[in-house]
Amino acid sequence: MKKIIESINYYHKIIIAVLIGMSFPLIYLFVYYTGGIKYVYSHTMYIPILLAGIVFGFKYGVICGLIAGVLLGPLMPLVVETNEPQVFFNWFYRMIMFVLIGGLSGYFFDKYKKTLKKNEKLYLHHPDTKVPNINFLMEYSDTYIDGKVLIASIIINNKNRISEVLGTDIYIKVINVIYHFLDDELPKESIVVQADSEKLWVLFKLRNMDEDGEKITKILSHDLDIEGIKLFIDFSIGISESINFKACKTLIPFRDSDRLAGYAKENNLPYVIFDKELLHKKYEFNLLGSFSNALKNNETFLTYQPIIDSNTGSVVAVEALIRWLNPDHGLIMPNDFIPLVESTKLIHSMTNWVIRNAVRKQIELKENGLDIFVSINLSSKNLHNPLFYKKVVEIIAEENGNPNKLIFEVTETVLLKEDKYSKKTIEKFKEAGFRMAIDDFGKGYSSLTYLNLYEIDYLKIDRHFMSKIINSPSVLQIVEATVNLAHQFNLKVVAEGVEDQETYDKILGLGVDYIQGFLIAKPIKQDKVLDWCTKFNNKNNKSKS
């Protein structure tokens, strides 16, 4: 495109030169056939003179002024009809005026063009280093590079050190040398610009990210000798891609390469290439951003999974399990968003929301003749929060709930940490009548040493054991030993994730107290849970009698 603009510029000058050249004899004939210089038409000559000055500058303005002066001077009669000549002073004065017009217009336009060029240079280049800047990138046409574009952000990590120790002038030279290395050695259509004082951006047609990364690193590893000083440049490169060159001009794709260069710097790596993991992190980041409104917008809801008593076969509890129906991504399961939410303060409002809704459900079930437990999952972050207990008590009071029918599930990692706040909070919950359960037992550290430190009511054996209990005698042994030990500590045992009858029978034989799993029911929508549990219990009672 630049070439097209240049060629248009070139041809447009030729066209104007031809027009000016033709206009002289034409205007001469025009003045002649309208009766001679006596009449007003000679003023038409100012047009080609001015044009020559504007387009071709001072020199050509003066020359054209002279030619016009002669054509309309001694060569043109005052009155054609009588062939009366002009007096010398008359045509000479006119010629001086023509030369002045041509010369002055040329002079001022030359000056104007020079200033314009200077400003353009300033606009397109970094003020200190004179290396092309971001505006320079914008000057290219949207299709300058076709197809996918590789973009690399190069950060000069030791910029401050170089400037401080050797001076800013040396640093400016460093940038220039690096710029020229890149510009000379990268593929022909590459663009190299200085994005800020310590950052360069490189763009060229994407071929192979790994090879291109190596190539840039190799170029930057050249020995730098500036004014006899051997310099070590500590750089970090972030490499990313853009779907096309047009997108690069929005500068958005550089966010990734910049971030990666920062990551490379933090981790002392020469370069880091954009990968799917980063893309996933970005997705997670967006997701987390939209979670802040999810609770307010009623995008979250609870499902309830029944837990049955292995002796009576009736539903004794339901576990509240959160779901998020995201308008953009559809249904999101807790394992895909809770770890993200847990990394922020949002986990507190989320848990408060779960508790409030679970308490309401417990009351609703009770009012419909089903006074069962509702089990709620807590995050370790909740227990570390010194204000958590007070908030829970407040919610229960507001909702008129019954702590004696609520179970809080925590994972064993919380207990293993022996955190002061967590321990205190658990103790206070116990005093207030809440039940406590250890969730996913066996998934992590698997130690029962903390059991005498806390007053725990239930131990929930992780579902991964259930899937192996039939085929693995050692798993069976572990589960059996765990059940026995838990009973010795007066804990009731819940088997999580029971999916088939065979496992159910086996686990019953081990003396497990409660069963939860897909065999009984998958998590049930909040408006269906009462109906499901009532029917299940009725059927169970009937089969017993």
Q: How far apart are CA 257 and CA 236, in angstroms?
A: 11
Which residue do the tokens 């190299």 mark?
A: 192
Residue 382 touching Mg ion (CB under 5 A): no
412, two tokens: 């064993």
Residue 440 touching Mg ion (CB under 5 A): yes
Task: Identify what 322 binds: ligand C2E, Mg ion, none; CB under 5 to 8 Å per kind.
Answer: ligand C2E
For residue 131, the minimal CB distance to ligand C2E (Å) is 52
Which residue do the tokens 């609770």 mark?
A: 295
Amino acid at 380: S
Amino acid at 214: E
Task: Identify what 237 binds: Mg ion, ligand C2E, none; CB under 5 to 8 Å per kind.
Answer: none
Judged by CB under 5 A, the stretch of 168-176, 239-247, 491-499, 510-518 that binds Mg ion is 491-499
Helices (H), 334-440: 334-342, 346-367, 380-384, 388-399, 412-416, 420-431
Applying CB under 5 A, which of residues 23, 439, 493, 512 lies at the interface with Mg ion?
439
Pairing relationship of beta strands 514-516 and 492-495 according to DSSP bridges:
parallel
In the complex with ligand C2E, which residue's Cβ is closer, 71 or 406?
406
- Contact (CB, 8 A) for 410 and 383: yes
For residue 197, the minimal CB distance to ligand C2E (Å) is 46
Residue 377 touching Mg ion (CB under 5 A): yes
Task: Identify what 106 binds: Mg ion, ligand C2E, none; CB under 5 to 8 Å per kind.
Answer: none
In the complex with ligand C2E, which residue's Cβ is closer, 20 or 512?
512
In the complex with Mg ion, which residue's Cβ is closer, 39 or 518?
518
In the complex with ligand C2E, which residue's Cβ is closer, 442 or 523?
523
Judged by CB under 5 A, the stretch of 29-37, 43-51, 128-136, 401-409 that binds Mg ion is 401-409
Residue 412 touching Mg ion (CB under 5 A): no
| Binding stretches for ligand C2E (CB under 6 A) | 305, 320-322, 333-335, 338, 354, 377-379, 409, 439-440, 463, 496-499, 516-518, 523
In the complex with ligand C2E, which residue's Cβ is closer, 47 or 333?
333
Angle between helix axes 334-342 and 346-367 (nearest 10 degrees) is 130
In the complex with Mg ion, which residue's Cβ is closer, 67 or 524?
524
Residue 153 touching Mg ion (CB under 5 A): no
What secondary structure letter does DSSP report for 106?
Answer: H
Within 10 angstroms of residue 8's Cβ, the number of other Cβ atoms is 10
Which residue do the tokens 């041509």 mark?
A: 102
For residue 397, the minimal CB distance to ligand C2E (Å) is 21
For residue 498, the minimal CB distance to ligand C2E (Å) is 6
Q: How far apart are CA 10 and CA 318, in angstroms?
A: 82
Task: Identify what 499 binds: ligand C2E, Mg ion, none; CB under 5 to 8 Å per kind.
Answer: ligand C2E
Judged by CB under 5 A, the stretch of 172-180, 437-445, 447-455, 530-538 that binds Mg ion is 437-445
Applying CB under 5 A, which of residues 241, 409, 412, 513 lies at the interface with Mg ion?
409
Name the residue among 387, 443, 385 with its Cα closest to residue 416: 443
- Mark 328-367 with x for binding to Mg ion (rule: CB under 5 A) and - for no binding: ----------------------------------------
Q: How far apart are CA 108 and CA 186, in angstroms?
A: 41
Give the count of alpha carbons within 13 A of 119, CB side only.
6
Q: How far apart are CA 42 and CA 27, in angstroms?
A: 8
In the complex with Mg ion, which residue's Cβ is closer, 258 or 496?
496
Task: Identify what 486 binds: Mg ion, ligand C2E, none; CB under 5 to 8 Å per kind.
Answer: none
Helices (H), 489-523: 501-509
Name the residue among 346, 20, 2, 358 with its Cα closest to residue 145: 2
Q: What is the 3-state secondary structure (H, E, C) of 50-71?
A: HHHHHHHCHHHHHHHHHHHHHH
294, two tokens: 């999810």
Name the residue among 97, 77, 61 with its Cα closest to residue 28: 77
Judged by CB under 5 A, the stretch of 132-140, 264-272, 330-338, 376-384 that binds Mg ion is 376-384
For residue 320, the minimal CB distance to Mg ion (Å) is 9
For residue 529, the minimal CB distance to ligand C2E (Å) is 14
* Residue 520 dihedral angles phi and psi, to the nearest 5°: -80, -60
Residues that bind Mg ion (CB under 5 A): 377, 409, 439-440, 496
